[in-house]
Amino acid sequence: MSEKKKALVETATRLFAQYGYHAVGIDRIIAESQVAKMTMYKYFPSKSKLVVEVLNTQSAARAADIASAVAPHSDTLEKLHAVFLWHHTWINSDAFTGCMFINAAAEFHAEENEILTAAAAQKEGFIRTLAGILGGAVEAENAEKIARRCVALLDGATISAQINGRLDAALEAWEMAAGLVESEHLQIA
C-alpha cells in the first residue's frame, strides 16, 4: 500500500472509530491525512470504497491479533478462552470505541450494500476462525454452532461495554461460553 493510501486509510479509521462513519466527511479525512483531493479519489472514487477498505484492513488486523492471542496455547478450551481474554483487553484499552463492523452495519444497514457485505464478511470470518479452533476437538457441525454462539456473546459483550460501560462484559461472556461448552457435553481436548 502506498504511503498516501495508507495515510488515508489510517486517518479514516481513526476518525470513523471516534466519530462514526456518517459524521466524518471526505474533506476532513483529506485535511487530516494531508493528502490531495485528487489523490483521495485516485484510490477511493467514493466514500463507500474508503469505508470498505477501512473495514477490510481492520478485519485483517483483528484476525492477526486473534491468531497471536491463541498461538501460545495448545488446548482447545485455552485457545477459546484466549479469544475472550483478547476481547477483554481490547474493551479495556484506550483505543476501544466499539466494534467498527457493528457500527458500520448500524449506520449503513441496507443503504450501502458493499459496506454491509464487508462487515458481514468479518463476522463470518471470525466464526470460521473460532470453528477452526474448535474443529480439532468437536464435530464440524458442533464447532460452527458453538462458534456462532461465541461470536454472538462477544458481540453482545462489545455492545454492552460500548453502551453501558461494562468493562467486564467479555469475562462474563466467557463464563457463558464455558457453560455452553459444558452443557453441550463436548469433549474438548
Residues 55, 2, single domain; the answer is: no
How far apart CA 29 and CA 21 sit, in angstroms, is 11
On the question of pLDDT at 178 being above 60, the answer is: yes
Confidence band for 189, pLDDT divided at 50, 70 and 90: very low
How many residues are listed for the chain in this entry?
189
End-to-end CA distance of the chain: 41
How far apart CA 188 and CA 177 sit, in angstroms, is 13
- Gyration radius from the chain CA atoms: 18
Specify the number of domains making up the chain. 2
pLDDT at residue 145, rounded to an integer: 93
Of 3, 68, 69, the closest CA to residue 39 belongs to 3
Q: What is the mean pLDDT of residues 16-44?
A: 97
pLDDT at residue 135, rounded to an integer: 86
**Domain limits at 7?**
1-45
On the question of pLDDT at 112 being above 90, the answer is: no
Residues 125, 165, single domain; the answer is: yes
pLDDT at residue 181, rounded to an integer: 81
Residues 40, 57, single domain; the answer is: no
Residue 41: C-alpha distances to residues 35, 50, 58 (Å): 10, 10, 21
Q: Residue 21's domain is classified under what CATH number?
A: 1.10.10.60
